[in-house]
Amino acid sequence: MRLALTHSLALRDPTESAESLRTALTSRVRSEQAKGMLAAHWDVHPDVAFQPLRAYARSRQRKLYEVAHDIVERRLDLPRN
């Protein structure tokens, strides 16, 4: 699988590949920030905080990074399950 992804990226325009990787990294960073904020707010381990984050996104058919962005920007106060 990793080889296929690497090969796929190699066939793309380098600028497009760099932008895709940048977007993926930004999304990952934002998700980690949201997880950390929830963990601190709820006084739980970050892995525990991730579960309600993921469940919330899934139940509302939203992308995880979108929900994470709203949490980090304080537009969403996620209830603890």
Mean pLDDT in residue range 8-23 = 69
pLDDT, position 41: 95
Q: What is the pLDDT of residue 28?
A: 84
Q: Sign of torsion, CA 58 63 60 67? A: positive
Look at residue 53 in the predicted model and tell me its pLDDT. Answer: 95
Q: Is 29 left (phi over 0), alpha (psi -120 to 50) or beta?
A: alpha
pLDDT tens digits, residue range 16-54?
Answer: 777 777 777 777 889 999 999 999 999 999 999 999 999
Mean pLDDT across the chain: 85
Residue 49's Cβ-count burial label (10 Å; 0-12, 13-18, 19+) is buried
pLDDT, position 54: 94
